[in-house]
């Protein structure tokens, strides 16, 4: 009988402590539900803002590439047209000297500056997408053979040779009209350089378009997560409440068993 009494006291103590712990845990679960929801939403919002910034950077980069492409096409057309004109007459030598000596280099300086700015933005894009690709569950793979900022650097370097070509043409124009045939030859060779630049620009545009698709997908995912997160956390809270409730029922049974043993000891 004494053993039953001891066992009853032990079971009552264990049951009471466990039941109290369950009630405290239940209270804590519901107490942290809203702060946890707010913190999770803040994280998702920060992620969404980062994606918006990345999308804006990609838009700027795409615009810079298109500007560079338009400039290259315009230069190629201008050079070929000028070559045809110079083959027919030498009266355009003065005006064309101004074109290749001042106007076209100025246009290319602007394009190269735009590309350098785009390359700086591309470094941010590469870093953001590389960081996002390491986030579990997003299933985003980002491991390009050539990063976007390197591609843009190649585009900028492909334009570096053009100013020196223009300088050579300008010197030939100013030296003598007898070198007209040489100038025409240089102009006709210019598309070889511009076509390579166009290919580099086209490659970079494809990379930017692919990145924009990745970012668009992540933006849709973040919106979906943001919309469903409160409901998911509430469901988790309810599920934990259900588990704690049944644990409490088990602990209550232990407590009742202890009371039963004590009552039996008194009989």
pLDDT tens track for 197-236: 888 888 888 888 888 888 888 888 888 888 887 888 888 8
Nearest alpha-carbon partner for 13 in 254, 265, 261:
254
- For the full predicted model, state whether its pTM sits above 0.75: no
Round to whole Å and give the CA distance between 188 and 150.
30
Q: What percent of the chain has pLDDT over 70?
A: 71
Q: What is the pLDDT of residue 58?
A: 81
pLDDT digits over 44-53, tens only? 888 888 888 8
* For the ranges 156-170, 184-198, 248-262, the one whose mean pLDDT is highest: 184-198
Q: What is the pLDDT of residue 234?
A: 80
DSSP annotation string for 15-38: HHHHHHHHHHHHHHHHHHHHHHHH
Round to whole Å and give the CA distance between 206 and 166.
29
Query: How sure is the predictor about 142, in pLDDT bands with cuts at 50, 70 and 90?
Result: low
Q: Hey, what are 111's tokens? A: 């394009």
259 Cβ neighbours under 8 A, 6+ residues apart: 8, 12
């Amino acid at each position: 009988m004494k053993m039953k009494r001891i066992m009853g006291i032990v079971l009552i103590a264990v049951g009471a402590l466990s039941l109290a712990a369950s009630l405290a845990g239940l209270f804590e679960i519901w107490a942290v539900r809203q702060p946890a929801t707010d913190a999770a939403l803040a994280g998702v919002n920060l992620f969404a803002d980062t994606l918006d910034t990345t999308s804006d950077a990609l838009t700027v980069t795409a615009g810079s590439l298109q500007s560079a492409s338009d400039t290259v096409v315009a230069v190629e057309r201008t050079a070929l047209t000028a070559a045809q004109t110079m083959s027919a007459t030498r009266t355009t030598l003065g005006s064309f000297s101004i074109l290749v000596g001042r106007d076209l280099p100025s246009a290319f300086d602007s394009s190269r500056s735009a590309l350098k700015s785009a390359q700086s933005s591309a470094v941010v894009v590469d870093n953001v997408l590389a960081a996002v690709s390491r986030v579990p569950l997003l299933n985003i793979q980002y491991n390009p053979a050539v990063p976007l900022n390197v591609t843009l650097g190649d585009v900028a370097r492909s334009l570096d040779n053009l100013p020196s070509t223009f300088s050579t043409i300008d010197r030939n124009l100013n030296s003598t009209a007898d070198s007209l045939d040489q100038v025409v030859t240089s102009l006709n060779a210019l598309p070889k350089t511009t076509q390579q630049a166009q290919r580099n620009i086209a490659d970079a545009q494809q990379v930017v378009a692919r990145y924009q698709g990745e970012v668009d997908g992540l933006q849709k995912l973040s919106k979906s997560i943001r919309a469903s997160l409160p409901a998911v956390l509430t469901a988790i809270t309810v599920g934990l409440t259900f588990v704690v409730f049944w644990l409490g029922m088990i602990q209550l049974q232990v407590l009742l068993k202890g009371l039963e043993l004590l009552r039996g000891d008194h009989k």
